[in-house]
């Protein structure tokens, strides 16, 4: 198989660029123009080609793409040009930017310039700056030649970077990158334009009615107390924070407060409308997102922009301003956007979700064997927890008690304290006194003492990192502690690291922190275990995705779920196969009780 490294140079100006438009908008726009392209086949010298669109297309089709891996730095961009503009679909896609995020971490620069300098490979040029506003015909022969040299250098840097990264990169993850890129580069999902247009009208009508019915002026909305009352009427607990001035709890309604920012993406559009009105915004997130979907529907199929290794733990993340990862499922407009994402004619979507995977990984990693056994036997672990909390038989556990048991299992596993547990219940509409919250947390820790011990092991690992020592952490043979990298080696071969780890002596003991782009972030034993469990879950989901892709097209992954597009005539067999894959565990995860749930539908929303 050949390795073809590629880089496109395209027209851009002040108002038409990737800083103003999404990748999908930019490439599909009528103003889009390829100025030139540089191509390198294996170790052969890199070529530069420029010409009319027809000439570029003829040149590109002279290569054997079907038996090649295509490499670029930001392949979502260059690959989409190859696919959408020239109909070229290679055997595999590769991306040095994706590889860099996983090997170097998400907190360091991932541009070609930053990575080339970090690895000592050479310098990226700056000729692209002078090309602003220039169509191909605007370049003089000398300018075009220099621009070609710049593009050729980019390709050579990308090729050298790939060779360097490949030495430490798990081969299996190359296939995961390929699958992730295909979701965007080769889109097959469609959008229901009529449904979206109706939804947009409904949103705007309801927003106007909400503000009219509320009978509040802008001044009222700016009153913290009045705004809090409006949120409470909608069933939302107003976010709070500790005042730096008084040290007392106060409403967190500043536009920079995390709790307030979260309300902008609340599943209830009425809440979004109030927040938008307070901020003076003309549109809610739901409006903006719906309009973006409408615009995409008019241009073609829906490319799924998923960022490989977007998070510290290796999980995927949203991109291109539509963030498929957090489309609403509840509230007055729940599933409207999900329902607009439809399978092509003759096909169905299957959404398979890995059930409680983090809680299962946690119990297994900690060797909390009674909990592992309960998961393995398909018992209701939420009821079992509630039974302990309320000292009643499992058969007598009420719905509300089970909810507390569920919140405990899913929330207390990473060292959550009573105050935070109380707040989490409050957000869900459950009131619990602090003493009762303390009692529940204590019951969880006593019942799952090996999990509590795992937190202490992780805290000890942080301490020993500062001394350059390795320690044991969790079930033998799953992860390997690496004091040099100040992190752990995951089953995938990737590393979960804490850059520039340091500590301060505080009243309650040592407080560790590590370096991120946003500043220093505190880390402690329970949080380390949360990171590791999420990272292990991601390793498993990645391997399951590859197994599924051997037979069916994977079109989307969200958190712990995988969405596939299958022929209508094969739905039953496909669902059985996909569920089998989602219950499969790798050799290194022997004894881990994985389970899944799946749904079938003509739209993404119908699958749930």
The DSSP secondary structure of 397-434, one letter per residue, reads: --HHHHHHHHHHHHHGGG---HHHHHHHHHHTT----H
Q: Which of 296, 321, 312, 372 is nearest to 496 (CA)?
A: 312
Sign of CA dihedral 160, 166, 169, 174: positive
Alpha helices in 88-170 (DSSP H): 96-104, 112-118, 127-130, 141-166
| Cα distance between residue 486 and residue 470, in whole Å | 9
3-class DSSP assignment, residue 159: helix
Q: Which residue has the tokens 């860099």?
A: 100
Q: Where are the beta strands (DSSP E) in 507-552?
A: 509-516, 519-523
* Fold topology of 2-186: Nucleotidyltransferase; domain 5 (3.30.420)
Query: Which secondary structure element, helix H or strand E, spans residue 382, and what is its range?
Result: helix 381-390
3-class DSSP assignment, residue 372: helix
| Cα distance between residue 409 and residue 386, in whole Å | 10
Q: What is the pLDDT of residue 123?
A: 92
Radius of gyration of the chain from Cα atoms? 26
Q: Which two tokens stand for residue 524?
A: 């402690």
| Cα distance between residue 154 and residue 5, in whole Å | 10
Asked if 563 contacts 599 with a C-beta cutoff of 8 angstroms, the reply is no
First-to-last C-alpha distance (Å) of the chain: 40
3-class DSSP assignment, residue 375: helix
| Cα distance between residue 385 and residue 191, in whole Å | 43
Q: What is the pLDDT of residue 66?
A: 92
| Cα distance between residue 250 and residue 242, in whole Å | 6
Q: What is the pLDDT of residue 520?
A: 87
| Cα distance between residue 578 and residue 352, in whole Å | 7
Asked if 44 contacts 68 with a C-beta cutoff of 8 angstroms, the reply is no
Nearest 10 degrees: Cα torsion 548, 549, 551, 557: 60
| Cα distance between residue 12 and residue 138, in whole Å | 13
Long-range interactions of 588-593: CB distance < 8 A, separation 24+: 588/477, 588/478, 588/491, 589/364, 589/478, 589/491, 589/536, 589/540, 591/364, 591/372, 592/360, 592/361, 592/364, 592/372, 592/540, 593/360, 593/364, 593/372, 593/375, 593/376
Q: Nearest 5°: phi and psi at 280?
A: 80, 15
What CATH number is given for 343-356+533-607 in this structure? 3.30.70.370
What DSSP state is assigned to residue 155? H
* One fold for 2-186 and 343-356+533-607: no
Residue 68 pairs in a beta bridge with 2
- Give DSSP secondary structure letters for 442-508: HHHHHHTHHHHHHHHHHHHHHHHHTTT-----SSTTT-EEETTTTEEE-TTS-EEE-TT-EEEEETT
Q: Give 458's contacts (C-beta < 8 A, 6+ positions apart).
A: 473, 525, 526, 528, 529, 532
Q: What is the pLDDT of residue 228?
A: 86
Q: Which two tokens stand for residue 523?
A: 């880390």
Q: What is the pLDDT of residue 310?
A: 92
Nearest 10 degrees: Cα torsion 574, 580, 585, 587: -90
Q: What is the pLDDT of residue 455?
A: 96
- Mean pLDDT by runs of 10 across the 608 residues of the chain is 97 94 96 97 97 96 95 98 97 97 88 94 90 94 95 97 95 96 97 95 79 68 83 86 74 82 81 78 77 96 95 91 81 82 97 94 97 95 95 94 94 92 84 93 96 96 92 93 93 92 85 87 94 96 96 94 96 97 95 95 92
Q: What is the pLDDT of residue 435?
A: 95
| Domain ranges for the chain | 2-186, 191-300, 343-356+533-607, 359-530
What DSSP state is assigned to residue 603? B
pLDDT tens digits, 28-53: 999 999 999 999 999 999 999 999 99
Q: What is the pLDDT of residue 218?
A: 63
Q: Give 447's contacts (C-beta < 8 A, 6+ positions apart).
A: 385, 388
| Cα distance between residue 37 and residue 19, in whole Å | 21
Q: What is the pLDDT of residue 130?
A: 87
């Amino acid at each position: 198989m050949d390795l073809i490294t590629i880089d496109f140079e395209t027209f851009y100006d002040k108002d038409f660029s990737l800083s103003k438009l999404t990748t999908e908008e930019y490439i599909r726009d009528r103003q889009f123009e390829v100025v030139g392209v540089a191509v390198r086949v294996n170790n052969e010298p890199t070529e530069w080609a420029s010409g009319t669109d027809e000439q570029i297309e003829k040149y590109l089709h002279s290569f054997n793409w079907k038996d090649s891996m295509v490499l670029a730095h930001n392949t979502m961009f260059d690959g989409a040009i190859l696919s959408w503009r020239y109909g070229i679909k290679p055997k595999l896609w590769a991306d040095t930017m994706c590889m860099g995020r996983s090997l170097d971490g998400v907190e360091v620069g991932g541009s070609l310039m930053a990575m080339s300098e970090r690895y000592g490979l050479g310098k990226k040029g700056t000729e692209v700056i002078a090309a602003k506003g220039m169509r191909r015909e605007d370049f003089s022969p000398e300018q075009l030649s220099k621009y070609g040299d710049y593009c050729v250098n980019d390709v050579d840097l990308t090729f050298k970077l790939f060779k360097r990264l490949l030495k430490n990169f798990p081969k299996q993850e190359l296939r995961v990158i390929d699958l992730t890129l295909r979701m965007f580069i080769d889109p097959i999902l469609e959008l229901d334009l009529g449904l979206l247009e109706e939804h947009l009208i409904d949103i705007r009508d309801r927003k106007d009615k909400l503000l009219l019915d509320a009978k509040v002026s802008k001044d009222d909305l700016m009153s913290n107390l009045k705004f809090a009352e409006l949120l409470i009427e909608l069933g939302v607990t107003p976010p709070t924070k500790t005042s730096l001035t008084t040290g007392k709890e106060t409403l967190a309604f500043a536009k920079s407060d995390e709790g307030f920012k979260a309300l902008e993406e609340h599943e209830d559009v009425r809440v979004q409308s109030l927040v938008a009105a307070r901020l003076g915004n003309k549109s809610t997130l739901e409006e903006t997102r719906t309009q973006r979907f409408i615009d995409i529907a008019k241009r073609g199929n829906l490319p799924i922009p998923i960022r490989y290794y977007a998070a510290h733990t290796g999980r995927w993340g949203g991109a291109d301003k539509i963030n498929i990862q957090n489309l609403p499922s509840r509230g007055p407009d729940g599933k409207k956007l999900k329902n607009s994402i439809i399978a092509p004619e003759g096909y169905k979507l299957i959404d398979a979700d890995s059930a409680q995977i983090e809680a299962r990984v946690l119990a297994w990693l900690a060797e909390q064997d009674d909990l592992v056994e309960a998961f393995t036997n398909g018992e209701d672990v939420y009821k079992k927890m509630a039974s302990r909390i309320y000292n009643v038989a499992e058969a007598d556990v009420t719905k509300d008690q089970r909810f507390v048991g569920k919140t405990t299992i899913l929330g207390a596993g990473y060292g959550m304290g009573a105050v935070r547990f109380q707040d989490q219940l409050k957000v869900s509409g459950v009131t619990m006194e602090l003493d009762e919250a303390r009692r529940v947390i204590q019951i969880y820790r006593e019942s799952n003492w090996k999990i509590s011990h795992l937190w202490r092991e992780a805290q000890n690992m942080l301490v020993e990192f500062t001394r350059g020592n390795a320690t044991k952490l969790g079930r033998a043979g799953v992860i390997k502690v690496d004091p040099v990298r100040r992190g752990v080696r995951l089953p995938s071969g990737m590393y979960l690291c804490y850059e520039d780890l340091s500590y301060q002596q505080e009243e309650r003991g040592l407080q560790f922190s590590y370096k991120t782009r946003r500043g220093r972030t505190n880390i402690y034993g329970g949080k380390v275990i949360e990171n590791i469990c999420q990272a292990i879950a991601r390793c498993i989901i990645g391997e399951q995705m590859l197994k599924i892709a051997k037979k069916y097209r994977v079109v989307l992954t969200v958190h712990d779920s995988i969405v596939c597009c299958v022929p209508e005539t094969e739905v039953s067999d496909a669902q059985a196969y996909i569920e089998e894959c989602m219950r499969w565990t790798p050799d290194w995860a022997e004894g881990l009780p994985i389970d899944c749930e799946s749904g079938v539908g003509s739209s993404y929303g119908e699958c749930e």
